């Protein structure tokens, strides 16, 4: 009997270990992994250029650069550095210079500097451009602009394009914000899509291509269409957040360090363009997850925001000293916020309610009256209407209908391009 009991306990222990291992293993395969499983189909015998950064890795954290460089039958001939560079050695906004990759010795062409669209000279001798970067699902994040401009260059020169798909960390259902208006297209608002668009980067690439959205950086040129292939993921579903994928999170840029940071980037990034208004955690350990100032009473701000009964978001008071930036070493007082019900939360609207609450509590600290400029704010909003209407009364209800006006139309349009 004792032996039987010991045997049963051993079997249960083994089954438990197996279950834990299966639970810990990734449930999603990214495009680079699917491409490898398929024997690098579509790249064999071709001269390949690669647009990537440190987030372009497989589940074991092997770089896509190294995977393709060592792939049998694949000739990787050039790398293209978007914002932050191929190896992630540049800070936000810093221009990326042409260089040579220290690991492979390959030339690295900058597409974040004086040149943001690959030139014919950069693409000389290249048969296909591959794109592999982790997206964050927000229009103002510049990597999707680099994606589109690369596709545009490929279309003009008859070069193939390939996107290795990755999860949208905001999921595939969240859509928020207005379209970009004519006259407001820029590198942080490259396409007529909502601020949060609910597509994977592969799905977005197909939409850009088939809807003729590649009309130059100002949106005023004839559409350029490229011969595009998307290598899809396996196992990803639209209701997944990144934590559900089982994949490691490699920060795609310095201020997106955690797998849930994209949620907070969408919720505070627009407000963060109003330099001199609020500290949103840049230069501290919680980028985009706080709203604070040296002059603020956090309890009053918390009480005011809670009076709005915003769905799916909660606030706590916080005090911190930034490690860098204009408020380095100063005591900043404010709120940290959490999405307690992500599905019901209107994440992008959080920042507007913070601006409204501050204006009500501190009439001399209204956002657009204490900053030095707002040009980038209008660019990331894709319009000046949000600013001009909101600053009249600092009441979000004045712009709510405008902010939401394109969401359902885009949902209907985007469904045509769902891969998952």
The pLDDT value given to residue 218? 67
Distance CA 278, CA 298 (A): 12
Banded model confidence at residue 152, pLDDT cuts 50, 70, 90:
very high
Span 279-298, mean pLDDT?
Answer: 97
Tokens standing for residue 209: 């291509």
The mean per-residue pLDDT over the stretch 128-145 comes to 97
- How is domain 261-383 classified at the architecture level of CATH? Alpha-Beta Complex (3.90)
pLDDT tens-place string over residues 302-359 = 999 999 999 999 999 999 999 999 899 999 999 999 999 999 999 999 999 999 999 9
Q: How far apart are CA 71 and CA 55, in angstroms?
A: 19
d(CA 265, CA 141): 9
Task: State yes or no: pLDDT of 3 exceeds 50.
Answer: no
pLDDT at residue 89 tops 90: no
Please state which CATH class domain 26-254+405-420 belongs to: alpha beta
Domain ranges (residues) in the chain: 26-254+405-420, 261-383
The answer, yes or no, to whether residue 92 has pLDDT greater than 70, is no
Q: What is the pLDDT of residues 65-86, one digit of tens each?
A: 999 999 999 999 999 999 878 8
Residue 373 has pLDDT above 70, yes or no: yes
Q: How confident is the model at residue 90, as a pLDDT? A: 57
Q: Furthest-apart CA pair in the chain: how many Å?
A: 82
Looking at residue 326, its pLDDT comes to 84
pLDDT for the residue numbered 236: 98
How many Cα neighbours within 13 Å face the side chain of 399?
Answer: 25
């Amino acid at each position: 009997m004792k032996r039987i009991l010991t045997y049963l306990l051993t079997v249960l222990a083994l089954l438990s270990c197996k279950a834990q291992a299966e639970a810990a293993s990734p449930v999603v395969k990214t495009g680079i992994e699917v491409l490898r499983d398929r024997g690098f189909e579509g790249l064999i015998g071709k001269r390949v250029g690669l647009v990537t950064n440190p987030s372009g890795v497989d589940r074991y954290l092997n770089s896509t650069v190294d995977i393709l460089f060592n792939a049998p039958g694949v000739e990787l001939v050039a790398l293209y550095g978007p914002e932050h560079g191929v190896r992630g050695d540049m800070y936000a906004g810093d221009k990326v210079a042409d260089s040579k990759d220290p690991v492979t010795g390959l030339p690295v062409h900058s597409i974040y500097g004086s040149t943001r669209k690959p030139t014919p000279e950069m693409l000389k001798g290249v048969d296909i451009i591959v794109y592999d970067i982790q997206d964050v699902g927000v229009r103002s994040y510049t990597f999707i602009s680099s994606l589109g401009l690369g596709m545009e260059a490929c279309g003009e020169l008859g070069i193939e394009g390939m996107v290795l798909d990755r999860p949208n960390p905001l999921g595939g259902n969240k859509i928020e914000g207005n379209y970009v208006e004519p006259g407001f297209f820029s590198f942080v608002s490259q396409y007529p899509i909502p601020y949060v668009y609910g597509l994977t980067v592969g799905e977005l690439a197909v939409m850009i291509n088939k809807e003729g959205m590649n009309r130059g950086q100002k949106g005023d040129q004839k559409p350029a269409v490229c011969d595009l292939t998307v290598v899809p993921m396996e196992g990803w579903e639209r209701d997944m957040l990144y934590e559900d994928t089982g994949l490691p999170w490699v920060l795609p840029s310095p201020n997106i360090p955690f797998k849930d940071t994209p949620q907070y980037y969408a919720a505070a990034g627009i407000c963060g363009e109003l330099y001199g208004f609020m500290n949103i955690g840049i230069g501290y350990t919680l980028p985009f997850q706080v709203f604070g100032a040296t002059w603020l009473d956090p309890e009053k701000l918390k009480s005011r925001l809670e009076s709005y009964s915003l769905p799916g978001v909660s606030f706590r008071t916080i005090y911190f000293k930034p490690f860098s930036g204009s408020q380095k070493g100063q005591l900043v007082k404010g709120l940290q916020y959490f999405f307690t019900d992500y599905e019901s939360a209107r994440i992008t609207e959080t920042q507007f309610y913070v601006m409204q609450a501050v204006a009500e509590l501190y009439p001399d600290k209204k956002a657009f009256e204490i900053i030095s400029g707002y040009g980038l704010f209008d660019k990331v909003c894709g319009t000046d209407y949000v600013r001009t209407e909101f600053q009249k009364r600092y009441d979000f209800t004045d712009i709510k209908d405008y902010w939401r006006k394109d969401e359902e139309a885009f949902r209907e349009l985007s469904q045509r391009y769902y891969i998952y």
